[in-house]
Structure 1
Amino acid sequence: MRTAEPKTLLAWLCDRDRLVYRRFDERFTEVGVRLFGNNPNNPTCGESQFRRWTGGKLATMPGPATCQILEAMWPQYKAEQLFGSPAQADPQAPANDLEERVRMTAEEALEGADVTASASISDNTIDELRDQVTATARQYHRRSPVQAYEEGDRLRLAIERQRDRTQVPVQQQQLMILNGQAAALLSVAAFDLGFFPSARSLARTAALFGETTRFTPLQAYADGTLAFIAYHTGNATEAVAKATRALSYGGLGDTAHRRLQAIKARAHAHLGDVASARQAILLSAEDAHGKRDELHDDVAGEFAFTLERLAMSTSTTALLIGDAMQAEANARRALDLIQQRPSEEQSAHVRAGAAADLAHARLLADDVDGAADALQPVWDVPAEHRQTGIVVRTARIGHHLTRPQYHGAQVPTALRERIEDFNRVSPPHRIGPHVGLLAIES
Structure 2
Amino acid sequence: MRTEPKTLLAWLCDRDRLPYRRFEKRFTEYGVRLFGNTPTNPTCGETQFRRWTGGKLLTLPGPATCQILESMWPEYTAGELFGAPPQSDPQAPAYDLEQRVRMTAEEALEGADTTASASVSDNTIDELRDQVTSLARQYHLMPPAQAYETGDRLRLAIERQRDRTQVPVQQQDLMILNGQTAALLSVAAFDLGYFPSASSFARTASVFGEATRFTPLQAYADGTLAYIAYHTGNPTEAVAKATRALSCSDLGDVAHRRLQAIKARAHAHLGDVAAARQAIRLCVDETWDRRDELHDEVGGEFAFTLERLAMSTSTTALLIGDAVQAETDARRALELLGQRPKDQQSSHVKASAAADLAHARILADDVDGAADAMTSVWSVPADQRKTGIVVRTARIGRHLSKPEYHGAQVPRTLREQIEDFNRVSLPHRLGSSVALLAIEG
> What TM-score results when the alignment is normalised by the length of structure 2?
0.88
Corresponding letter in the other structure for 1:261: Q
CA distance in 1, matches of 2:409, 2:58: 39
User: Residues 89 and 169 (structure 1 numbering): CA distance in 2 closer, same or farther, change over 3 Å?
Assistant: same
Q: Which residue matches 1:91?
A: 91
Once structures 1 and 2 are overlaid, which stretch shifts more, 109-118 or 67-76? 67-76
C-alpha distance in 2 between matches for 1:176 and 1:222: 14
Q: 1:84 deviation in Å?
A: 5.0
Residue number in structure 1 paired with 2:181: 182
- Per-residue CA distance 1:356-408 (angstroms, 9 max, x = gap): 00000001111111111110111001111111100000000001001110011
1:250/1:394 CA distance change after superposition, 3 Å: same
Q: Which moved more, 1:98-107 or 1:247-256?
A: 98-107
Alignment of 1:222-233 (within 5 A): 222-233=221-232
Q: Which amino acid aligns with 1:88?
A: S
Displacement of 1:344 in angstroms is 1.2
Q: Report how far residue 414 of structure 1 moved.
A: 1.3
> Which one is further off, 233-242 or 4-13?
4-13
Aligned to 2:5: 7
Residue correspondence of structure 1 range 297-336 to structure 2 within 5 A: 297-336=296-335
Match of 1:387 in 2: 386
What is aligned with 1:348? 347
Output the amino acid matched with 2:161.
Q
Residues 324-376 of structure 1: per-residue CA shift (max 9 Å, x gap):
00000000000011111011110000000000000000011111111111101
Give the whole-Å Cα distance in 2 for the aligned partners of 1:273 and 1:266: 10
Contact 1:152 1:182 in 2 (8 A): yes
1:297 & 1:236 partners in 2: Cα distance?
A: 28
Residues 1:262 and 1:169: Cα distance change in structure 2 (over 3 Å) = same
> What residue identity is the alignment partner of 2:272?
D
1:236-277 CA-to-partner distances (Å, cap 9, x unmatched) read 111111111111111111110110010011011111111111
Amino acid at match of 2:353: A
Distance 2:253 2:26 in 1: 50
- Structure 1's unaligned 5+ residue stretches are 35-43
The range that moved more, 294-303 or 240-249, is 240-249
SS, match of residue 88 in structure 1: coil
CA distance in 2, matches of 1:241, 1:115: 46
| Alpha-carbon distance change, 171 to 48 in structure 1, aligned in 2, over 3 angstroms | closer
**Amino acid of the residue matched to residue 223 of structure 1?**
D
Change (3 A) 1:435 1:119: closer
- Partners of 1:53 and 1:243 in 2: how far apart? 47
Tell me if the contact between 2:11 and 2:85 (Cα under 8 Å) persists in the aligned partners: no
CA contact (8 A) 1:383 1:425 kept: yes
Corresponding residue of 2:252? 253
Report the Cα offset of residue 23 of structure 1: 3.4
* 1:335 aligned counterpart, secondary structure: helix
Q: Structure 1 residue 101 and structure 2 residue 100: aligned?
A: yes
Partner of 1:357: 356
Q: Give the letter for the 1:410 counterpart.
A: Q
The 8 Å contact of residues 120 and 168 in structure 1, kept in 2 or not, is answered as: yes
Match of 2:281 in 1: 282
Deviations 1:17-57 (A, max 9, x none): 74738839977x979x99xxxxxxxxx999667535535xx
Tell me: CA distance 1:60–1:211, structure 2 relative to 1, closer, same or farther (3 Å): closer
Q: Is the 8 A contact 1:353 1:389 kept in 2?
A: yes
Q: Which residue of 1 aligns with 2:261?
A: 262
Q: Distance in 1 between matches of 2:164 and 2:382?
A: 41
CA displacement at 1:6 relative to structure 2:
6.3
Summarize the Cα distance change of 1:163–1:4 in structure 2 as closer, same or farther, 3 Å threshold.
Answer: farther
Q: Distance in 2 between matches of 1:435 and 1:185?
A: 20
Contact 1:309 1:334 in 2 (8 A): yes
Is 1:405 matched with 2:439?
A: no
- Following TM superposition, by how much is the alpha carbon of 1:91 offset from its aligned partner in structure 2, in angstroms? 3.4
Q: Is the CA contact 1:194–1:434 (under 8 Å) kept in the aligned structure 2? A: no
- 1:37 is matched with none
Q: Contact conserved, 2:51 with 2:57, CA < 8 A, in 1?
A: no
1:165-220 per-position Cα deviation (integer Å, ceiling 9, x unaligned): 00000000000000000000000111111111111111010000000000010000
Q: Secondary structure in 1 aligned to 2:228?
A: helix
Residue 24 of structure 2 corresponds to 23
AA of the residue aligned to 1:102: V
Three-state SS of the structure 1 residue aligned to 2:88 is helix
- Partner residue in 2 for 1:191: 190
Higher mean Cα deviation, 69-78 or 217-226?
69-78
Tell me, in whole angstroms, the C-alpha distance in 1 between the residues paired with 2:71 and 2:132: 28
Check whether the contact 2:257–2:304 (CA below 8 A) recurs between aligned residues.
yes
Question: Could you tell me whether the CA contact under 8 Å between 1:145 and 1:384 is conserved in 2?
Answer: yes
2:40 alignment partner in structure 1: none
Code of the aligned partner of 1:229: I
CA distance in 1 between counterparts of 2:377 and 2:329 reads 17
Cα separation, 1, equivalents of 2:20 and 2:340: 45
Give the letter aligned to residue 397 of structure 1.
I
- Which secondary structure state, in structure 2, belongs to the residue aligned with residue 97 of structure 1? helix
Map 1:153-172 → 2, pairs under 5 A: 153-172=152-171
Aligned equivalent of 2:38: none
Code of the residue aligned with 1:303 in structure 2: it is: F
Gaps of 5+ in 2: 36-42
Pair 384,169 (structure 1): closer, same or farther in 2 beyond 3 Å: same
**By how many angstroms is 1:7 displaced?**
3.0
Aligned residues: 428
Alpha-carbon distance between aligned partners in 1 of 2:87 and 2:135, rounded to the nearest angstrom? 26
Report the Cα offset of residue 314 of structure 1. Answer: 0.3
Matched residues in 2 for 1:6 and 1:170: separation? 49
% identical equivalent positions:
72
Deviates more, 1:411-420 or 1:78-87: 78-87
The AA in structure 2 aligned to 1:7 is P
Name the structure 1 match of 2:139.
Answer: 140
The verdict on how the C-alpha distance between 1:62 and 1:340 changes in structure 2, with shifts beyond 3 A counting, is farther
